[in-house]
Amino acid sequence: MSTVSLRAPSISPATAPPRRRLLTRLPAAFALLPTALIVLIVYIGCMLWTVRLSFTSSTLLPKLDWVGLAQYSRLFANDRFLTSAENIVIFGFLFISGCLILGFLLAVFIDQNVRGEGLFRTLFLYPYAMSFVVTGVAWQWFLNPGLGLQKLVRDMGFPNFTFDWLVNQDMAIYTIVIAGLWHGSGLTMAILLAGLRGVDNDLWKAARVDGVPTWRVYASIILPLLRPMIVTATVLLATGVVKLYDLVVAMTLGGPGIATEVPAKFVMDHLFERNNIALGTAAATIMLVAVISILAPWVYMKYVRREGRHA
Amino acid sequence: MRLKKRISAYTLAFAFASTTAAFAQQKAEVLHWWTSAGESASVKVFADQFTKAGGTWVDNAIAGGANARTAGINRMVGGNPPTMMQFNTGKQFDELVSNELVRDVEQQAKAGKWRELMPKPIVDATVRNGKFYAVPVNIHGQNWMFYNTKVFADAGLEVPKTFPELVATGEKLKAKGVIPIALGGQPNWEHNLFRAVVVGHGGADMFRKLYGARDQATVKSSKFKETVELFGKMRALVDPGSPGRNWNDATALVITNKAAMHFNGDWAKGEFIAAGQTAGKEYGCALVGEGGGKLVIGGDVFVFPVTKDKAQTATQDKLIEVLLDPTSQIEFNKKKGSIPVRMDVDVSSMDTCAQKSHAVLKDPANQVEAMEMLSTPNFSGAMQDAVTQYWNNANMTADAFIEKILGAMRDAS
C-alpha cells in the first residue's frame, strides 16, 4: 500500500534502556535537524507570513498594518479571480480524470505485448520530458487558427473547417486541458504500466479458466489492485493542477480576455507586476485553504480515524 | 615558523583584497532588462562611453521587466544593491524613494538645468518631494500608428487622421481583404490601443482624469461613452488570429503588406529597421486624433541605490554624466528607437519618425504623460483586466464596460 506511516518504528522500551535509546537516536535526530528547520522556517514560516500579509494593505513592500478581511472582500468581487477559480476547477477535474483514463488505456494497450513496445513507451512518455513552456508554445502554434490545424485542414480542401477554440472565449480553457493531457498522460501511463506489470499472471489464468470476460477482469480485479498507483498518479497530477501557471502564460497569457486566467497567475501578477502584495497573498491564502480543505478529509480518513479504531 | 607563515598568508590575502577594492573603485554594476538585440546594442553605447571615461561596466541584464525589478528591489532591501538600476518612468520606484533606498540627484539636476531641458511630464515623473530621484535617459512615444504606405496606396485610401475616420477606412480595407489593424492580442497591447483611442478621441484631459484623478464623472460622460464605442467598433477590424499574438508578430503583418495599421510604441521601429525598411518610405508613422494628435510619452530612467561606499557614490556621479552626454544620448536613442530626453540636442541625424516625435514634443500641449506616471500599477492592472474583457467579448456593451471601469476605480488601491 502507499500508506506512509508517520509513526516511528516502535522499538520496544523493554529491550533497550532509555539512555541508550537516546544515544542511538541522537545522530538520527541531528541528521534530520536541518530538514526539520527548513520545513519549519521556510515552508511553515513563509506560509504564516503569507497569511499575515493578506490581512494588511501592503503594496510594493510588505507593511504590517491590519485591515481585516478587506482584501478578501475585494478578491471575491474581482471578476478575474472568480474566473480563475472556476477555470482551475474545470481544468483540475478534466485534467486529472482525463490523464487517468488516457493513461490507463495507453498502459493497457502497451501491456498487450504489442510489437515495438519500447518505441511506444518512449513516444507516450516523451511529452512529459518537455517543459510546460515548450508545450504551451507548441500547442499555441498548432491550435492558432491562422497557422496550425485549422489552416492545414482548410488548405487540404475543406474551406469550412473551423477549429478556433484557442481564440474563442468559451472554449479556450479546454485547449489548455488538451495541452495538459498531452503532457501528463504519458507519466500516468508509465506509473500504471508498472502496476499492470506487477499483477500476478495466475490471476489472469484463473479468470480465464472461470470464463470471465477481459473487460470485467480489468474493471473488477486489476483496477482495485492498481489503487496505490492510481493514488500516486492522482497526487502527482493534482500538484500540477495547483501550480498551473507556465502552461497558461506560454499558451494564452490568460486570454482571450480573462478566459483562461488561473489562480497562480493571479497571485504572480499581483505580487510582482501590480505591486499589490496584499491582494496577491489573499489569493494565495485562498488557494492554500482550498488545498487544505480537499486534503483534510483524506488525511482524517487515513490517519486520524484509523488511530481511533486501534485504540 | 608556522605562525609566521600563517600571518604572512593573511597579510597577503588582505593586501590582495584591498588592491581589488582599489581596482573596483570605478566598477559599476548596472541592472537592466534590455535583452533584445536592438536593446542590448543601445545599452552598449552607455557601456562603451563609460569605459572610455575610465570606468568598468559590469552588465547585469535580466530578461523581463518585472523579473529585473523584483531582483533589483530584493537586493536593495537586502543591502547589496547594484550601482545603477533601470526603471520605467512612473510610480514603480515611489516606495524606494519613500523608504530612502535610492539617492537623490538634485545637485546634478540643478547644475545641468534638467528642468529646462526635459519635457515636463518626464520631469514630473522623476521628481519626488521637489528633488530628482532618477536620471531619465530617453522618451518613448506609446501611441504611434504605424502604417503600410503600399497597402494604402493600392487601396486608394487616405491615411486616417481621427478615430471615426479610422473606423470607416478600416471597414473599407477589410472589404478589400486586408487586415485593417494588426494587433498583438495580449492584455497589455489591447490596453495600449485603448489608451491611444482615449487620448486621441477623448483628449489629454480625459486621459488624465481617467488614469490620474480616477474621476467618475468623466467616465460617466457622453464623450467617454462615444470613445468606448469607437474602441468597441475596432474589435471588428482585427483578424481572428489576433488573441495571444506577440506584438512583434503583429508588426510583421504590416511589414509584409498583410495589414494596414498597427498601434504601438516607437520601439516597434526596430522591427521595421530589422526588415530593412525606412521610415517615410515603406512605412509611415502618424498620431491619430483630433487636432493632430497628442503623444503619450514615457521612458526609461536609472536610479542610484543609496550606498555608504564613497567610491561607489563617485562611480554613480560619473555614470550620470555619461548618461546625459549629448553624444551618448543621440547614439543610444538611435539604437533604442526612442528620442533624446534632452530637447536641446540636434536630432537631424535621426529618422523621420524620431524627428516628428521631437517636433511634436516641442509644444508642451502635445505632451501627455504615460499611464505609468499617472496611475498605480494596481489600478492600471485592474483597467487592463476590464479592457481585455471588453475587447475580447463582442457582445459586451459599452455600458457594461464603463460599469467595470467604475468598479476598478472604487476597488483598486
- Has residue B2 got a pLDDT over 80? no
Residue A305 has what pLDDT?
A: 67
Residue A306 has what pLDDT?
A: 61
Spatial distance between the Cα atoms of A206 and A186, rounded to a whole number of angstroms: 31
Domain-embedded: residue A241: yes
- Has residue B5 got a pLDDT over 60? no
CATH code, A248: 1.10.3720.10
Summarised one tens digit per residue, pLDDT across range B298-324 is 999 999 999 888 889 999 999 999 999
Residue B17 has what pLDDT?
A: 45
Query: ipTM of the assembly?
Result: 0.75
Residue A18 has what pLDDT?
A: 66
H helix intervals, A126-226: 132-143, 149-155, 172-197, 201-209, 214-217, 223-225
H helix intervals, B296-336: 310-324, 326-336
Q: What percent of chain A has pLDDT over 90?
A: 42
Report the range of poorest mean pLDDT among A72-81, B1-10, B235-244: B1-10
Domain ranges of chain B: 27-141+298-368, 144-297+372-411
Q: For the residues A5-32, what does the mean pLDDT come to?
A: 66
| Domain with A114 in it | 81-280
The grid coordinates of residue B400 equal 457594461
- Has residue B12 got a pLDDT over 80? no
Domain-embedded: residue A59: no
Domain-embedded: residue A202: yes
Q: B95, B376, B413: best mutation site toward chain A, by most A Cβ within 10 Å?
A: B413
CB atoms A258 and B388 under 8 Å: yes
Phi-psi region of B43 (alpha: psi -120 to 50; beta: other; left: phi over 0): alpha
In chain B, which residues have their Cβ closer than 8 Å to the Cβ of A270? 378, 381
- Has residue B372 got a pLDDT over 90? no
- Has residue B352 got a pLDDT over 60? yes
Cβ-nearest to A254 among B187, B240, B378: B187
Quickly tell me which residue has 546625459 as its cell: B324
Domain-embedded: residue A268: yes
Residue B413 has what pLDDT?
A: 60
Nearest to B69 by CA among B29, B32, B28: B32
Note which residues in 24-83 of chain B have CB less than 8 A from chain A: 66-67, 70, 73, 77
- Has residue A13 got a pLDDT over 50? no
Per the CB < 8 A criterion, the answer to whether B373 and A40 are in contact is no
At residue B20 the predicted structure's pLDDT band, cuts being 50, 70 and 90, is: very low
CATH number of B27-141+298-368: 3.40.190.10
Distance of residue B82 Cα from the nearest chain A Cα, in angstroms: 19
Domain-embedded: residue A35: no
Distance of residue B237 Cα from the nearest chain A Cα, in angstroms: 15
- Has residue A310 got a pLDDT over 70? no
Note which residues in 65-94 of chain A have CB less than 8 A from chain B: 74, 77-80
- Has residue A277 got a pLDDT over 80? yes
Residue B102 contacts by C-beta under 8 Å, 6 or more apart in sequence? B76, B93, B96, B133, B134, B303, B304, B305, B306
At residue B211 the predicted structure's pLDDT band, cuts being 50, 70 and 90, is: very high
Residue B140, strand partner residues: B298
The answer, for B346 touching chain A at a CB cutoff of 8 Å, is: no
Amino acid at B128: R
Residue B1 has what pLDDT?
A: 42
Domain-embedded: residue A306: no
- Options 3.40.190.10, 3.40.50.970, 3.40.50.720, 3.40.1280.10; which CATH number does B144-297+372-411 get? 3.40.190.10
Return the half-sphere exposure (C-beta side, CA atoms, 13 A cut-off) of residue A38: 5
Summarised one tens digit per residue, pLDDT across range A237-267 is 998 999 899 999 999 888 788 999 999 999 9
Nearest to B374 by CA among B267, B197, B214, B263: B214
Matching CATH topology for B27-141+298-368 and B144-297+372-411? yes
Summarised one tens digit per residue, pLDDT across range A179-236 is 999 999 999 999 999 999 988 888 888 988 988 888 888 888 899 999 889 998 998 9
Domain-embedded: residue A66: no
